């Protein structure tokens, strides 16, 4: 028997066919492309923002630090530390501390950060002053540089003087910016720079004052800073000092934005997933509609490969085009960010335009379209030409092929999340979560169909029965639409809930404000003066907390210095170096909750001192109930035992402590006090601050009212970014829903026309449609929100490590909102059926 010689259609013909078909199907393909565009735009924008932030941090870390590396210590350097510092020959040094200053001109007082500097700091970046030369000659002139905003607030001019502790200096320059100060810290405690030589004379550095000594180094380009850090850091650590290189600073800064970046990544992942769902559901219906045409093509002689390739080319083309448009929109969005984030980042955000995001966008657009369209596309391969002659059951795709495609999709999602999150566990969790949600929704849809079938209300009216019937009879769209609506709602809900998680913490701080003035650094002999001033002005004493500073000497019989040398230690570094501010009291306070052990009110003389520690401290210091800890309290060693472990809500704006002693131990130790009070208005607050600083120059007053305004402002900006990205992804989700439901139009239109032809009224067709979409919308959205609730709980617990208190919005707004949306689109789908003659519709919708 002879063989058939192959036919020779050129490859270009496949492209021609793909183009011809696409031209005539443009409306459906635009819907499909919307999903890709929005998904890619969100991914590109978020990824660019995250990259830009990281790159800028790296780039500008030197400028931020002002030096190549810094050695800092919170105490006067020990002899050994000083020897190391000197041997490396510092190029400049600084001591800084928070203190109240006064302007003699108008008696204004303000909490500032005093920075006593010697040498040519900064070596990188700039100290921006007016006049410009003030930054280089303030030391020789013996004058101060004062923060520009502060001068403006108090009406101070160049040449006026500033009183820092006991020293009064002329203001020789207006300070606009200086490395090491962010907009945030500047607003709370604006910087005042004075020559180092005057620090002693201020008499502000006394026992108990919080201070930081910094030694700045400029290194040659060939010096390996990481090697230096590895070599010197352990030695310095033993002396309670620290070495920071500009590279480690950039890492730390990067970490500070971790949760925001994590959230943005989550939003990007979700936006992409939403896009994928959009693609899968639109292509599913699109290809279903094309099967007959493909069967005709096969009748005319097209091979399986040719039929498949025509549509693969079409979908890939749309994917690439969507990816390109999406990337361009994403870049456009990213260009907006620097304006928004300007003041909460400690550096200027420079946006650079590179071809990489466009390439990534196009690649992603291509990959996600092809992969998510592959399952429906496979039908083009398996559809029989016999479909031309009769309505036949669709050919089943081989199980292995389906499994392979599912596996490819999962691998793609996993690799994408890995690229996005750069964390194997999170990537696995993200993909696993999405898969579980998918399975639950698919199973729910199937179960629902079975349920309706089994308990079908045969006695109900025709329209109700028809609406219900649509859910499970051939050509039903139940599984596809519940998956699309459910996954869409699930992802949108997740985003909303996690946004809540991120923003909730800030709200706690903002609402728990009773005290609005905190008076710090009051030594025992100054207590009476503070109490007197508070009483004179009838200001309430809300807290009067004694503070005793101490360091750890021994943990469970091991010397801290010994633990520091141990490279395999499990105790966290900060525990070993930190100077702890502890307090003593008889009761627990509102922000504390006893987790383990027993709270001891008063220590019995002659026994080991029972202390209470926070859970964070316990885990970082590897301590359990009953363990012994020896503290060095200003030179006196004090043996204690862990009697209780508390959970502390650090989010509350009040004084919280890692270590609390019982009464009867520290009363005679050198200590200072913290008072909190509430001033009724700004004038009372300002007058009180002025008088107290006049009497006690070393006292530090934090005006929480100002802090709250500033924090609120910063959080507003972060919230803006978070909200923006969340809303962007939610809009993507809505478009996907619209696209999914819209494509279902072609499933129902012929049936509606037929019903109308055989006499159904518009009202009846409307009722049938309303019922079908109402069921689908309700079930999909409720399942989606429930799934989002569970997964957000997990995200809060494991990813953001924040408590999760669900908001009601997704339930009261999303469920009815999405159901309504599904209903409206469903109804708009049959609008043409209701307003035109059946024949007209059939012709138009072919």
Partner 1 sequence: MTKILKISGLEKSYTSGQKQLTVLKDISFEVEKGQTFSIVGPSGSGKTTLLGLCAGLDDPNSGSVELCGYNLKGLNEDERAQLRNKEVGFIFQNFQLLPTLTALENVSVPLELQGAPDAISKSKQLLEKVGLVDRMHHYPSQLSGGEQQRVALARAFANTPSILFADEPTGNLDEETGEKVIKLLFDLNKEAGTTLVIISHDLDLANRTQQILRLKGGQIMTNEPTAIN
Give the residues lining the site for partner 1 (CB under 8 A).
Answer: 1-10, 13, 16-17, 20-21, 23-25, 292-293, 296-306, 384-386, 388-390, 843-844, 846
CB 550 within 8 A of CB 580: yes
* Residue 39 CB neighbour total at 10 angstroms: 34
Q: Classify burial at 63, counting beta carbons within 10 Å of its beta carbon; exposed 0-12, middle 13-18, buried 19 or more.
A: middle
Per DSSP bridges, beta strands 609-614 and 636-648 are: parallel
CB of 744 to partner 1, least distance (A): 19
The nearer residue to partner 1, 103 or 381, going by C-beta atoms, is: 381
CB 192 within 8 A of CB 162: yes
Q: Which of 667, 616, 666, 609 is nearest to 642 (CA)?
A: 609
- DSSP SS3 for 302: coil
How far is Cα 27 from Cα 282, in angstroms, rounded to an integer?
A: 12
Q: Classify burial at 590, counting beta carbons within 10 Å of its beta carbon; exposed 0-12, middle 13-18, buried 19 or more.
A: exposed
Query: 70 — phi, psi (to 5°)?
Result: -135, 140
Q: What is the DSSP string of 421-443?
A: H--HHHHHHHHHHHHHHHHHHHH
Show Cβ contacts of residue 716 under 8 Å, excluding neighbours closer than 6 positions.
none
Q: Which of 742, 238, 666 is nearest to 481 (CA)?
A: 742
How far is Cα 612 from Cα 646, in angstroms, rounded to an integer?
A: 7
Q: Classify burial at 402, counting beta carbons within 10 Å of its beta carbon; exposed 0-12, middle 13-18, buried 19 or more.
A: middle
How far is Cα 624 from Cα 642, in angstroms, rounded to an integer?
A: 7
CB of 287 to partner 1, least distance (A): 13
The nearer residue to partner 1, 26 or 226, going by C-beta atoms, is: 26
The nearer residue to partner 1, 248 or 307, going by C-beta atoms, is: 307
For residue 703, the cross-strand partners are 517
Torsion of CA 731, 735, 737, 743, to 10 degrees: 180
The nearer residue to partner 1, 746 or 811, going by C-beta atoms, is: 746
CB of 11 to partner 1, least distance (A): 10
CB of 365 to partner 1, least distance (A): 23
How far is Cα 234 from Cα 528, in angstroms, rounded to an integer?
A: 44
Q: Which of 660, 666, 649 is nearest to 587 (CA)?
A: 660
Show Cβ contacts of residue 58 under 8 Å, excluding neighbours closer than 6 positions.
250
CB of 14 to partner 1, least distance (A): 10
CB of 387 to partner 1, least distance (A): 9
How far is Cα 73 from Cα 87, in angstroms, rounded to an integer?
A: 16
The nearer residue to partner 1, 16 or 465, going by C-beta atoms, is: 16
**DSSP summary character for residue 525:** G
For residue 558, the cross-strand partners are 555
The nearer residue to partner 1, 298 or 564, going by C-beta atoms, is: 298
The nearer residue to partner 1, 1 or 227, going by C-beta atoms, is: 1
How far is Cα 844 from Cα 399, in angstroms, rounded to an integer?
A: 37
How far is Cα 565 from Cα 476, in angstroms, rounded to an integer?
A: 70
The nearer residue to partner 1, 139 or 379, going by C-beta atoms, is: 379
CB of 393 to partner 1, least distance (A): 10
CB of 712 to partner 1, least distance (A): 57
CB of 23 to partner 1, least distance (A): 7
The nearer residue to partner 1, 223 or 388, going by C-beta atoms, is: 388
CB of 746 to partner 1, least distance (A): 12
Q: Which of 338, 414, 277, 278 is nearest to 45 (CA)?
A: 338
Q: Which of 156, 159, 54, 48 is nearest to 109 (CA)?
A: 156
The nearer residue to partner 1, 299 or 411, going by C-beta atoms, is: 299
The nearer residue to partner 1, 388 or 508, going by C-beta atoms, is: 388
- DSSP SS3 for 520: strand
CB 779 within 8 A of CB 815: no
CB of 3 to partner 1, least distance (A): 8
CB of 766 to partner 1, least distance (A): 26
The nearer residue to partner 1, 304 or 763, going by C-beta atoms, is: 304
CB of 386 to partner 1, least distance (A): 5
The nearer residue to partner 1, 119 or 385, going by C-beta atoms, is: 385
Angle 26-65/355-382 helices, nearest 10 degrees? Answer: 150
The nearer residue to partner 1, 305 or 422, going by C-beta atoms, is: 305
CB 196 within 8 A of CB 116: yes
The nearer residue to partner 1, 31 or 431, going by C-beta atoms, is: 31
CB of 392 to partner 1, least distance (A): 9
Cα–Cα distances (Å) from 386 to 290, 308, 398, 474, 500, in that order, read: 14, 17, 19, 19, 55
The nearer residue to partner 1, 473 or 843, going by C-beta atoms, is: 843
**DSSP summary character for residue 797:** I
The nearer residue to partner 1, 202 or 306, going by C-beta atoms, is: 306
Per DSSP bridges, beta strands 636-648 and 628-633 are: antiparallel
CB of 474 to partner 1, least distance (A): 14
CB of 30 to partner 1, least distance (A): 15
CB of 395 to partner 1, least distance (A): 11
How far is Cα 826 from Cα 485, in angstroms, rounded to an integer?
A: 13
């Amino acid at each position: 028997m002879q063989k058939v010689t192959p036919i020779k259609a050129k490859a270009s013909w496949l492209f021609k066919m793909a183009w011809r078909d696409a031209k005539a199907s443009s409306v459906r393909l635009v819907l499909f492309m919307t999903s890709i565009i929005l998904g890619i735009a969100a991914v590109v924008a978020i990824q660019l923002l995250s990259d830009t932030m990281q790159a800028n941090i790296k780039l500008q870390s030197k400028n931020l630090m002002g030096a190549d590396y810094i050695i800092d210590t919170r105490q006067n350097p020990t002899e050994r530390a000083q020897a190391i510092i000197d041997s490396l020959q510092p190029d400049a040094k600084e001591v800084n501390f928070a203190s109240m200053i006064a302007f003699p001109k108008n008696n204004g007082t303000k909490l500032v950060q005093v920075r006593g500097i010697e040498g040519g700091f900064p070596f990188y970046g700039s100290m921006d002053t007016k006049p410009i030369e003030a930054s280089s000659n303030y030391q020789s002139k013996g004058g101060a540089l004062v923060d520009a905003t502060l001068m403006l607030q108090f009406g101070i001019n160049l040449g006026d003087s500033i009183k820092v502790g006991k020293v009064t200096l002329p203001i020789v320059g207006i300070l606009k910016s200086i490395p090491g100060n962010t907009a945030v810290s500047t607003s709370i405690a604006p910087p005042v720079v004075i020559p180092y030589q005057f620090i002693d004379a201020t008499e502000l550095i006394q026992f108990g004052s919080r201070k930081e000594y910094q030694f700045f180094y400029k290194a040659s380009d060939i010096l390996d800073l990481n090697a230096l850090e590895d070599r010197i850091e352990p030695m310095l650590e033993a002396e309670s000092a620290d070495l920071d290189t500009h590279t480690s600073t950039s890492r730390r800064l990067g970490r500070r934005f971790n949760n925001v970046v994590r959230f943005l990544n989550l939003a990007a992942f979700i936006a992409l997933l939403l896009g994928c769902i959009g693609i899968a559901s639109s292509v599913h219906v699109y290809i279903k509609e094309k099967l007959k045409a493909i069967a005709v093509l096969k009748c005319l002689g097209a091979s399986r490969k040719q039929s498949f390739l025509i549509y693969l080319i079409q979908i890939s083309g749309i994917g690439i085009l969507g990816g390109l448009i999406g990337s361009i929109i994403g870049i456009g969005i990213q260009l907006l960010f620097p304006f928004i984030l300007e003041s909460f980042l400690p550096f200027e955000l420079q946006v650079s335009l590179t071809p990489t995001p466009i390439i990534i966008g196009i690649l992603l657009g291509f990959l996600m379209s092809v992969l998510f369209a592959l399952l429906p596309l496979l039908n083009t391969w398996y559809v029989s030409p016999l479909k031309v002659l009769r309505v036949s059951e669709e050919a089943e795709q081989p199980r292995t092929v389906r499994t392979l495609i599912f596996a490819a999709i999962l691998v793609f999602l996993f690799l994408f999340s890995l690229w996005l999150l750069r964390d194997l566990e999170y990537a696995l969790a993200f993909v696993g979560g999405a898969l579980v949600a998918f399975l639950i929704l698919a199973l729910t849809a199937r179960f629902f169909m079975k349920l309706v079938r089994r308990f079908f209300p045969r006695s109900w009216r025709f329209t109700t029965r028809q609406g219900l019937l649509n859910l499970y009879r051939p050509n039903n769209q139940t599984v596809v639409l519940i998956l699309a609506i459910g996954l869409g709602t699930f992802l949108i809900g997740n985003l909303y809930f996690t946004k809540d998680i991120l923003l909730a913490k800030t709200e706690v701080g903002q609402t728990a404000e009773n005290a609005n003035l905190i008076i710090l650094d009051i030594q025992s002999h100054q207590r009476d003066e503070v109490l007197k001033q508070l009483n004179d002005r009838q200001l309430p004493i809300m807290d009067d907390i004694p503070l005793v500073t101490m360091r750890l000497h021994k943990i469970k019989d091991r010397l801290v210095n010994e633990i520091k040398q141990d490279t395999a230690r499990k105790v966290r570094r900060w525990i070993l170096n930190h100077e702890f501010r502890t307090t003593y009291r008889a009761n627990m306070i509102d922000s504390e909750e006893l987790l383990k052990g027993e709270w001891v009110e008063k220590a019995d003389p002659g026994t080991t001192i029972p202390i209470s520690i926070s859970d964070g401290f316990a885990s970082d210091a590897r301590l359990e109930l009953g363990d012994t800890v020896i503290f060095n309290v200003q030179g006196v060693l004090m043996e204690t035992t862990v009697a209780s472990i508390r959970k502390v809500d650090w989010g509350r704006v009040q004084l919280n402590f890692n270590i609390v002693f019982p009464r009867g131990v520290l009363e005679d130790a050198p200590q200072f006090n913290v008072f909190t009070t509430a001033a009724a208005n700004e004038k009372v607050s300002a007058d009180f601050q002025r008088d107290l600083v006049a009497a006690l120059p070393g006292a530090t007053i934090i005006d929480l009212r100002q802090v709250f305004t500033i924090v609120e402002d910063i959080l507003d900006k972060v919230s803006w970014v978070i909200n923006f990205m969340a809303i962007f992804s939610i809009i993507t989700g809505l478009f996907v829903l619209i696209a999914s439901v819209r494509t279902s139009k072609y499933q129902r239109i012929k049936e509606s026309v037929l019903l109308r032809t055989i006499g159904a009224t518009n009202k009846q067709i409307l009722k049938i449609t309303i019922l079908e979409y109402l069921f689908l919308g309700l079930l999909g959205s409720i399942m989606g929100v429930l799934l989002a609730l569970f997964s957000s709980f997990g995200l809060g617990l494991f990813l953001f490590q924040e408590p999760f208190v669900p908001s009601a919005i997704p339930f009261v707004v999303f469920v009815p909102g999405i159901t309504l949306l599904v209903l409206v689109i469903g109804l708009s789908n049959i609008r043409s059926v209701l307003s035109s003659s059946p024949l007209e519709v059939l012709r138009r919708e072919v």
